[in-house]
Structure 1
Amino acid sequence: MICSMTGFGRSKVENDTFQITVEMKSVNHRFLEMSIRLPKQMMVFEDKIRKIIAKQVRRGRIEVSISITGEGLVERKLTVNWELLKQYQSIMENIKGKFQLQDSITLGQLMRMPEVTAIEEIENVNEQFETSLYEAVRQAAHMLKTMRDGEGERLHKDIAYRLQEIHNCVNAIIPHAPIVTQKYRERLENRLKELHNQDLDEQRLLTEIAIFAERSDIHEELVRLQSHLDQFREALQITEPVGRKMDFIVQEMHREVNTIGSKANDLTISKYVVEMKNNLEKIREQVQNIE
């Protein structure tokens, strides 16, 4: 069954220490492309996250947002740059001596100097957190896949309906095509009678009809169009990504239909050609969103 490239997935995993929220949305794209936003200290997990998602989706642009809250994940530690502090003190003492200043150097003055103190964040990520993170990603990816599959079913029904409409047009054209040549013969006979008002040259008439018949013959185009319809129906049943294959088949069907329209030179066939083109255009739009 075909799969859409449009979908959304969301999951939340939490305990007493942390809460992990994962959101995913996908749109159509030529290849599989992921954009993952997660806290800087969690970048080490990105490669595994990508692999988990790739097991569920094989084509499309996937935007992933991961938010994490919890006090236990990062420990903050205040540090002092003792070497820099000594330099500040030495410079202050030199300035004080050079200008014979009486003011004393206080601890508060030293501590306010740039980069003397810093808050260092130490990751406190344990195995439980890592397992929970991957589980949250799996749940969101599964929800995304489920939505894409559901949309794929809707696309399948719509495309199958339009393929049948095109098939009906082909079946209507097949018995009508020979009539086109016969009508041309009648028009040609009447026209020649009007112009010459004399007995017709039967051989010349047959030659003209043969040329027209060859030029307007659409049998091969109809056969190829039927073949493309069969190929498309088969593609609808494939579980592997078939979006690009379907896009190619639609282009081929467009080509055959255009040729039929240009060669037939008949109002009835032209009506069916317009109907087939309308359905093909709808199918083409749908195919752009198939994985």
Structure 2
Amino acid sequence: MIASMTAFARRETHLPWGSLSWEIRSVNQRYLEPSFRLPESLRNQETTLRHRLKQKLARGKLDLTLKFYPTDDNQELVLNEPLLEKLVTSAEKVCSKMAKAAPLDPLKLLEWPGVIQASETDEEEVQAQVLALFDQALDDLQAHRLREGEALAAMLEERLVQITTHLQNAQAYLPAALEAWRTSVLEKAAKLQVEVDPQRLEQEVVLLAQKQDVAEELDRLEAHVTEVRRALKTKGPVGRRLDFLMQEMNREANTLGSKAMNLDMTQVSVELKVLIEQMREQIQNIE
């Protein structure tokens, strides 16, 4: 089953020590291009997160945002007593050298950097929850991409059915086009009162048929249609292969138009190019 590169997923969890939320947005891109936005305290997890991402996705431009909200009620204030004792000792030494030193202000001592510390949440637990939640968000994203891919596959199949119909029509138009050309030559000769050599006329018809023969183009287009259907049933990334097939189909449709002998064949070429372009635009979103 094919997957679209356009998707969105959001996961969050609430624990006694705080809340975590992952938000992932994905759009089409030729390669895999992730952009992580992580809290500074969890920045060291980026390498692990990138590795997990590459295991599940092959293409797409992704914005991945992690938000961490620690629970303030869960934090206790811890007094750094060794540092406080050093500050008091140093302050007393300074005071002893001053004639009229003001008494020490306990609140000022508490404001000194490092004297008061918040109890830290278990770092390993936080990181484990970050990774677990990330895996869940990635699974949701991939499920969304697969649903989008299923819709794209249905749309592409509709276009393939229409292309097949036009190819069948082109096969039917060719003999009629040759006969119409033969009749046109005879009618012009009759108006000009010119005698036409039947044998020479048939030779010209054969030469024109060889020059305007589009059987190879039609056969290749049918083969490409078969290959597109096969790719749509293939597991894994197929976007680049489908894009290549669209280029080949468009080339054959152009050749078909250049060899067109009447308006019917020209119209077939135009309709094919329109359908191929519609498919190509949607294929840009396929992983």
TM-score (norm 2): 0.83
Closer, same or farther: CA 135–160 of 1 in aligned 2, 3 Å:
same
TM-fit CA distance, 1:126: 2.7
Deviation, 1:106, is: 7.1
- Which structure 2 residues correspond to residues 176-255 of structure 1 after superposition, within 5 A? 176-195=173-192, 197-255=193-251
The one-letter amino acid paired with 1:32 is L
Q: Determine the C-alpha separation between the residues in 2 that align with 1:179 and 1:173.
A: 10
Counterpart in the other structure of 1:128 = 125
| 8 A Cα contact 1:10 1:139, kept in partner | no
Looking at structure 2, the residues matched to 177 and 136 of structure 1 have their Cα atoms a distance apart, in angstroms, of 61
CA distance in 1, matches of 2:212, 2:56: 50
Q: How far 1:61 moved relative to its partner? A: 0.7
State the one-letter code of the partner of 2:242: M
Match of 2:254 among 252, 258, 282: 258
* Alignment-derived partner of residue 276 in structure 1: 272
For residues 54 and 76 of structure 2, what CA distance do their matches in structure 1 show?
A: 29
| 8 Å contact from structure 1 (residues 75, 124) kept in 2 | no
TM-score by length of 1: 0.82
**Mapping of 1:1-291 within 5 angstroms?**
1-70=1-70, 71=72, 118=113, 124-195=121-192, 197-291=193-287
Q: Gaps (5+ residues) in structure 1?
A: 94-102
Identity of aligned residues (%): 31
Where has structure 1 moved over 3 Å in runs of 4 or more? 71-80, 103-108, 116-125
Structure 1 contact 217–264 (Cα < 8 Å) conserved: no
DSSP-derived class of the 2:56 partner: coil
Partner Cα separation in structure 1 for residue 78 and residue 266 of structure 2? 76
SS in 1 for 2:235: coil
Q: Deviations over 1:208-266 (max 9, x none)?
A: 32332222110100000000000000000001100000000011111111111110221
Give the secondary-structure state (helix, strand or coil) at the position aligned to 1:264.
coil
Q: What runs of 5+ residues in structure 2 fail to find an aligned partner?
A: none
Between stretches 64-73 and 275-284, larger displacement belongs to: 64-73
Query: Number of residue pairs matched?
Result: 269
Aligned-partner SS, 2:259:
helix
CA contact (8 A) 2:17 2:121 kept: no
Cα deviations across residues 24-47 of structure 1 (Å, max 9, x unaligned)?
Answer: 010000011100001112111111
> What's the Cα RMSD here?
3.0
Question: What residue identity is the alignment partner of 1:186?
Answer: T
User: Is 2:75–2:118's contact at 8 Å kept on the other side of the alignment?
Assistant: no
